[in-house]
Chains A and B, each alone.
Chain A
Amino acid sequence: MKKKKKRFSQNSLKLLDEIYEETLKCMKCGLCRSVCPVFLETQLEPNVARGKIALVQALKEGDLEVTKILEDRLSRCLLCGTCAMNCPSGVRVDLIVAKARVLAQSVRGLSPIKWFLLRIFLKNRWVFKLGVKIGAILQPVLFSRRKEGFEIGLSQKRVVMPLKKDRFLDLCQDTIEANKKKVAIFFGCTINFILHHLGKSMIEILKSKNVSIIIPKSQVCCGLVAESQGDEETFRKLAEENIDAFYGLSVDYIVFACATCYYTFKKAYLEMLFDEKDPYFEKANWVAKRCIDITEYLVNVASVEDVYLDENIFHKVPKVTYHDPCHMAKGLGIKDAPRRFIERIKGIEFLEMEEPDRCCGGGGSFSLKYYDISLSILKKKMENVKKTKADILLTTCSGCYNQLFDGAKKFSDNLLVMHPVELYYIAWSGKYESFRD
């Protein structure tokens, strides 16, 4: 008996054509197999770019329908962009996979749990805020407390940083007036709900350079987590809210301390949502042009001076290494600025690890769904970190920050994970505050 075929809507068909067009550039050389972190752990073709391209082509050619297994295979991707960067033909596999997830979602819909998390929780900022607050109160009851973090997940394997009860955004001033240099800040969820001290470090350092700061209170989650789940509806709503929050502000730059949020504003909104015909295209473009990473800004625009880290703070001259976030190094091609910013911090010993731009295995929700694969990718990262004998591991992305925090707790003794701005602030202020405070 023939099963009734799930029909694509008109819009889905258009999307499928668009994705298919991009897949045709693939010459099936298979070089992606040498770089894909997920493939290197699993050694299965459906997990690598070339396999995913074959699946999309099978959809188009009618050999396959959108099934649960297909959805699963599509979600086995960190969207780290390593394949796209190394592809001889320049195929944008990251876009193919992200859009194929949107396509799959449009046919099969979101699972009830995803629907709740994305459509109810993430999409509505007040629900989100309240939810985090409740989470912050309940976390000591729900999860076993470990030194500096909680263990979550059914197996209680993952160690996460504790949530704050208040949103950082609500704790800071709207505007800080200073001289001609003007920036707006986008914080993102991790600073808002966990790393308050990073937000504080940003503001204090910018203030010290006499930079005027605007903090639009209507900013929301960047939405990339929704996009990575194929939930274009939520992604679009969050994107529009963010663009409305920042569009037209009289600032030179919009500053980010998270590579993923930065990438989302700079590239993903335009590539995934707003093509030239879209009413938001102009505004999104205006915003994208002004985006800058905090380390880029501090080095290239604000020209921060050297700071000296007092030996007494860590009771030694700490060895420091840097992990390149995928969204920064591969997504935006920025490797130099964070390093030049770290050079401004004296009194540390900087050591480059092997393959600093190798993915940490976080991939946003990937690490929740495929924790075992994620963990084995993370383990390789932590081995490279370990070889440097570093005391402090720096990174400029909150996704990596969370993942590396878990890695530091699991695979090392006293490794600290920080954003370069945090370390700069510690050296500058002479005080070490961690997120516990």
Chain B
Amino acid sequence: MKRSVKNRLLEIFGKENLLLNKEDLICYAYDGSFGEKRIPDFVAKPKSYEQIVDLVRLCNEERIYLTTRGAGTNLSGGSVPICGGGVLLLTGMDKIKEINRDDLYVVCEPGVVTANLQAEVEKFDLFYPPDPASMSVSTIGGNVAENAGGLRGLKYGVTKDYVMEIKLVTPYGDYVRVGAKTVKCVTGYDIVGLMVGSEGTLGVFCEMTLKLLPKPKFHASLVATFEDIKDAGLAVAEIIREKIVPATLEIMDNFTIKAVEDYKSFGLPRDVAALILVECDGYHTDVPRAEMEKVLQVCMRTRAKDINIAKNEAERDSLWAGRRAALSALSRIKPTVVLEDVTVPRSKVPEMLKKIEEISKKYNLLIGTFGHAGDGNLHPTFLLDARDEAEMKNFEKAADELFEAAIELGGTLSGEHGIGISKSKFLSLELSKKDIEIYKRIKKALDPNMILNPKKIFFQGLEKEKKEIQSK
């Protein structure tokens, strides 16, 4: 790093909010994904948007790469500073500025932890539904940048459905506001929609206004087991066809059930092919109960082996404890865990499950599958040993096949983890050259020097062009 740049950074952030020691930088070289890492040149921890403006302008002038980071729980490499440069750490900006009970929104800074935001709004009987599994540590800024999903996607949608307004610093260093604090807003382009899920490549979010709902007060939960995984898939499809919209509709395959039972005994049957977990909620006590009655009928029709409705809060908790333990249970089996998030139209869930089973056999890999069957978002979880080269080669082939299968079924590469580094090489499976061209043009228009989160999403083409820009 140039001395002048270092001095300018010190001017902006002061010694205490600028990390330059290698020992500290190493701790910002990775995120939650499996794959490449890179030690950044510096980590800057702003307290205000003014500091971000100064930093982005400096980086834009000096052509320094900048990767924005929250809690670093990203599962696709989105927060890895893969080209070096700086890491812009937003966890210090963690204020909830306003909870508006008249207009039902919350205004917060990007570093607020998702679960904290939920707890704060729930004090007023309000509800922020997106619930990614990492929500006890993940930040709202990261959730918006990755358009995070969660268990409640089926009924309540994902992060993009809740973002009303964003204040952000553009890659050329302007502080701007997009969207509005109104329910409706068609003034100008829908830049909010563009920014959500842009994986940190188009701007640095400094403040967000998020929509809130009244908190549903009543819940009913059910678990049903199936001897044939196809029947479980059928039950999922039938529930939707009956026009029931459960808050969550989850599936676990036999491998995962067995792993969960080995890990801790939750009393799940080891011999069933799959189980589904359904939760309905509502603002009135009759609603979830009536819906659950219908779910029960569907499960009986689709040849469920056992059906169990939780009678009280404690039983409900124990039903869900098994599902919540799924990843823990799987991750203890082997040292390396790769959690995928292929998503297909929900009617194709049975076929996708079958395909995953085939891939597992073909490449002799352990794959546990669980996930949000209700919205077609599955989590095939590969259990590997990174030191076993042969196994890792098989995994690569299996991953190729997995993504091809998802696309063939009309699905998508990633439901909620993002493309980042991990999936960028598969992008052409889903998108044509012309499709990708739109993204490239947008990126070039907003970030002509390509400083923000380089080499992510659709990196290959851009790298060459960047060199051309810089050589001019």
Contacts and interface: CB of A to CB of B under 8 A. Distances in A.
B23 A24 contact: no
A64 interface: yes
6 contacts: A27-B34, A30-B73, A30-B134, A31-B134, A43-B92, A88-B331
Nearest to A51: B27
A27 B22 contact: no
A141 interface: no
Interface in A232-278: none
Interface in A202-229: none
Given A43-B91, A46-B24, A70-B23, A54 B32 contact: no
Nearest to B19: A44
A27 B23 contact: no
Contacts of B327: 88
- Interface core residue of B24, B27, B71, B328 (most chain A CB under 10 Å): B27
Contacts of B32: 27-30
Contacts, number: 79
Contacts of B128: none
Contacts of A28: 30-33
Interface string B70-95: 01110000000000000000011000
A24 B136 contact: no
- Interface core residue of A25, A27, A34 (most chain B CB under 10 Å): A27
Contacts of A29: 32, 73, 134
A89 B73 contact: no
B335 A25 contact: yes
Nearest to B386: A24
A55 B39 contact: no
A69 interface: yes
Interface string A27-46: 11111011000000001111
Nearest to B25: A46
A64 B337 contact: no
B137 interface: yes
Contacts of A140: none
Contact of B27 (A24, A25, A55, A89): A55
Interface residues of A, number: 27
A170 interface: no
Nearest to B387: A24
B29 interface: yes
Interface string B16-57: 000101111011111111100001000000000000000000
Interface of B: 19, 21-24, 26-34, 39, 71-73, 91-92, 113, 115, 134, 136-137, 327-328, 331-332, 335-337, 386-387
Contacts of B328: 88-90
Interface of A: 24-25, 27-31, 33-34, 43-46, 50-51, 54-55, 58, 63-64, 67, 69-70, 73, 88-90
Contact of A27 (B27, B115, B331): B331
Contacts of B387: 24
Contact of A24 (B19, B33, B336): B336
Chain B interface main SS type: loop
Nearest 4 A/B pairs, CB to CB: A51-B27, A88-B328, A45-B27, A34-B136
A31 B327 CA distance: 12
Contact of B337 (A27, A54, A67, A69): A27
B269 to A, nearest CB: 23
Contact of A73 (B23, B71, B137, B331): B23
Nearest to B116: A34
A55 B332 contact: no
B92 A46 contact: no
B92 A45 contact: no
A327 B24 CA distance: 28
Nearest to B29: A54
Nearest to A33: B137
A64 B336 contact: no
B24 A90 contact: no
Contacts of B72: 30, 45
Contact of A45 (B28, B34, B331, B336): B28
A33 B136 CA distance: 8
A369 B23 CA distance: 19
A300 B113 CA distance: 43
A24 B33 CA distance: 14
Contacts of A63: 26, 39
Nearest to B37: A54
A158 B234 CA distance: 66
A173 B21 CA distance: 56
Given A31-B136, A33-B137, A45-B72, A64 B31 contact: no
- Interface core residue of B28, B115, B137, B336 (most chain A CB under 10 Å): B137
A30 B29 CA distance: 13
Contacts of A33: 71, 137
Contacts of B21: 69
- Interface core residue of A31, A43, A90 (most chain B CB under 10 Å): A31
A124 B242 CA distance: 78
A105 to B, nearest CB: 17
Nearest to A27: B337
A34 B135 CA distance: 9
Contacts of B31: 28
A309 B374 CA distance: 59
A55 B30 contact: no
Nearest to A28: B32
Contacts of B337: 27, 89
A64 B22 contact: yes
Contact of A34 (B29, B34, B137, B331): B137
B73 A54 contact: no
Contacts of B71: 30, 33
B22 to A, nearest CB: 6
Contacts of A73: 23-24
Contacts of B136: 31, 34
Nearest to A89: B331
Contacts of A44: 19, 24, 27
A55 B336 contact: no
A89 B202 CA distance: 35
Nearest to B334: A25
